[in-house]
Every structure is written in structure tokens, then in C-alpha cells.
Amino acid sequence: MVDKPMSNHRTRFPFSINKLLFWSLISLVVIVFFFVGSPPSTTATTTSSSSHSRRLLRGGPQWQTSVIRSSTPSNPKGLRVLVTGAAGFVGSHVSVALKRRGDGVVGIDNFNRYYDPSLKRSRADLLTREGVFIVEGDINDSSLLKSLFKLVKFTHVMHLAAQAGVRYAMKNPSSYIHSNIAGFVNLLEACKSVNPQPAIVWASSSSVYGLNSKVPFSEKDRTDQPASLYAATKKAGEEIAHTYNHIYGLSITGLRFFTVYGPWGRPDMAYFFFTKDILKGKHIQIFEGAEHRSVARDFTYIDDIVKGCLGALDTAEKSTGSGGKKSGPAQLRVYNLGNTSPVPVGKLVSILEKLLKVHAKKKVMAMPRNGDVPFTHADISLAKKEIGYKPTTDLEKGLKKFVTWYLDYYSTQSGKKDSK
């Protein structure tokens, strides 16, 4: 028997590895192609909640078809609305309401990790089932906005994408500049450049009243004493809106939301994490003001806010500019959207205790100096007169709906985890 030379072994061994690698690669390409429908690319981004649409190639033919389909109103008189922050709390509710009444809606959201992104994904799943397509992307991405505006002649932009939260601004100040200032300017730049320009309705905040002590807060009151960077960026947004209205003829309406709560809400807000902590038997901190005065908020239920947003969209006049040039004065408005009845935080907790049937472990403590204001109270007479805003849900009724949703949502989520 003649031994095979070592060299032979050497040449044969790499050959079989190559072959193996080659066929593995081919199989991988086939699998990817089969499941994704297009080759993987660095520009392939998540575009909606469902796993299929998330893999659509941004700007590709399927993506374009989805954007166009989603933005086409089912009602011939319907609006074509781009909703920024569509996977957010208010954004998801507004998107569904618009779609259900026959408007065309396309959402955009960056699905950031400020709070549990799985909640945002669940909201996005809901939107997908309603026929609303969400583009995954940031409002700072000019080329993405350009391609969306090129594809669709949006009549309106409902701008709800923002870095929210008053206290978090001390931890991550730059995120507020990124979203609430740079992102807003980028969006306005895109809006002013297209023809026809859309009308814009956007989320300002009750926090712009800052240290204002005159109650109830009226749109005529001073807003030059913000108590947090969040508030300062929202106030800056109102000034930026003035500039774009003045120079480019963009029709812009700012809505000052007052502590919005309800089902599918934000886990960073007190009513939400109080619920979670009460159920877990953890201590909750209840802030109080100087001389042990109660801290109070004009808590506003999400359905009332949605009606306010729709009222603002429906009464928005057209922008007057085209191709970046103004041809006449355009509408510029600001409205309070509150509930007109402030409730102390202690009362909020006692309602939750009753609904959850659990006694809360409370720690009353002085409000830290981290951007909070002692109270808010909206005067809504202007919004009532001009956009037909009329809140109808008191805190007890609204929290009942929230708690029902919370228990249902998180029992389903833990069921999903258990079954994994």
C-alpha cells in the first residue's frame, strides 16, 4: 500500500472546507431570499411592526406600495396625514382614530429605548392591524423625510415624536435637543420645501407654563420661566414654529397637552409606574410642595386629547407657501388641551388603590428640584371655541379604563413569556 503524500491531504482538506462553505453560503442566500423576499442590505430597515413589513427594503417597491396604500384615504374627503411618533402613546391613538374615520395615515417612529420598546412594538402591531403603515426612522433623517414627501402629498403632519418626560431631562439633556429641537427643525425644513406644503399640528406641553402661578393657565399667560429642559425645548418649539410660519407660510398649530394618561400609556409616567409598584408591593413616593401643600395635575384622558388633535387637524387652514416661498400670512395657533380640574397626586393614588384593591405603601416627600412644577390647571376656553374641544372623562373614569387595560395587557405579556 502506498501512502498518500501529505501534500495530497493538504490539498484535499481545504477543498472540502471550501465546498462546505460554498454550499452553506448558497443555502443561506436561498433561506434569506425565501423569507425576506429581497436580498439583505444595509439600508433594509424596520418599517412596521409585523415581522414581514419590518424587513421591507426602505425605498424599495414593496415599501413604496405600503406607504402609498396606507396614506390613501378611504373617504374621498379624507386627509393624508403623516403622524410622527406613531408608535408612541398619543401617536398610536391618534393614528387609529384618523384611520378609522377614513383618513390616510402613514406613521414614522424611531422606536427608541427611552422606555420599554416592546410596548411600542405592541402599539405598532395594533396599528398594522388597523391598516396603518409605520416607517421606522428618525425625524432627523432628512433623506427619509424627503422620500416620504416625494411619494405622498401629505395634506397634514401630526407631529408627536418627541423626547418626553420632565425629570429625565437632567439625565439625558442631549436627547431633548436631538428630538424636540433638531428633529422639529428638520421636519419643518422638509414641510416648507414641498409643494403643496402640509399644515402642521404638533405637541407642545403644559410644562411651558413653568413657574407661572396665575391659574387657570391661559394661552395669554407668560411662558418664559420653564422649570425643566423638557419645558424649555417645548417652548423653543413654539418660537421655532413662529419663525417657520413667518418666513415660509407654514400653517402651524401647537397643542399644550396636560399630563395625558390612559390605556397604552407611557411607563415613565407616575400613574403608570405607581400602578406597577402598588401591585408589586413596592413603596411609591408622593411628592409634596412647600409647606406640605399637595402637588396637583390637570390629568387629561387620552380620548379627550385625541378629539382635540382631530379638532385641530380639521380646523387647520392650508399653508400658504410653495417651494420654500411664502405667498401670504398663514395660520399660527396654540391651544391648551387639559381637563380643567386639577387632582392632587395623593388622590390619584387613592383612586388607584381602590381600583387595584391593593393598599399602597406610600412615602410622602418634598418634591425634588428636578424640573417638576407644583401644579397645572388648564383654561380650555380658547380650544373649546375654536376647535370644539370638550373633555368628558374625569380621572376616576379614565383610570378605571387604564387599570382594565393594564391588567389585561400585562397578564397577556406574562402569559406569552410563560409559554416561551
| Residues marked as catalytic | 230
79 vs 269, beta carbon nearer ligand UGB: 269
177 vs 367, beta carbon nearer ligand UGB: 367
187 vs 269, beta carbon nearer ligand UGB: 269
Concatenating the DSSP letter of every residue in 354-398 gives HHHT---EEEEEEPPSSS--SB--B--HHHHHHH-------HHHH
Nearest distance from residue 346's CB to ligand UGB, in Å? Answer: 9
Give the residue among 307, 374, 373, 386 at the shortest CA–CA distance from 339. 307
CB 303 within 8 A of CB 262: yes
How far apart are alpha carbons 293 and 366 in whole angstroms? Answer: 10
Nearest distance from residue 78's CB to ligand UGB, in Å? Answer: 29
Distance of CA 264 to the CA centre of its chain: 11
Nearest distance from residue 217's CB to ligand UGB, in Å? Answer: 11
In order of 86, 204, 246, 285, 316, the CA distances from 252 in angstroms are 19, 12, 10, 39, 8
80 vs 297, beta carbon nearer ligand UGB: 297
CB 203 within 8 A of CB 160: yes
Give the residue among 231, 387, 385 at the shortest CA–CA distance from 316. 387
CB 223 within 8 A of CB 210: yes
Which residues would be at the binding site for ligand UGB (CB under 6 A)? 164-166, 205-207, 257-259, 269-270, 285-287, 295, 297, 345, 367, 372
71 vs 259, beta carbon nearer ligand UGB: 259
Question: What burial class does residue 353 get, using C-beta atoms within 10 Å of its C-beta: 0-12 exposed, 13-18 middle, 19+ buried?
Answer: middle
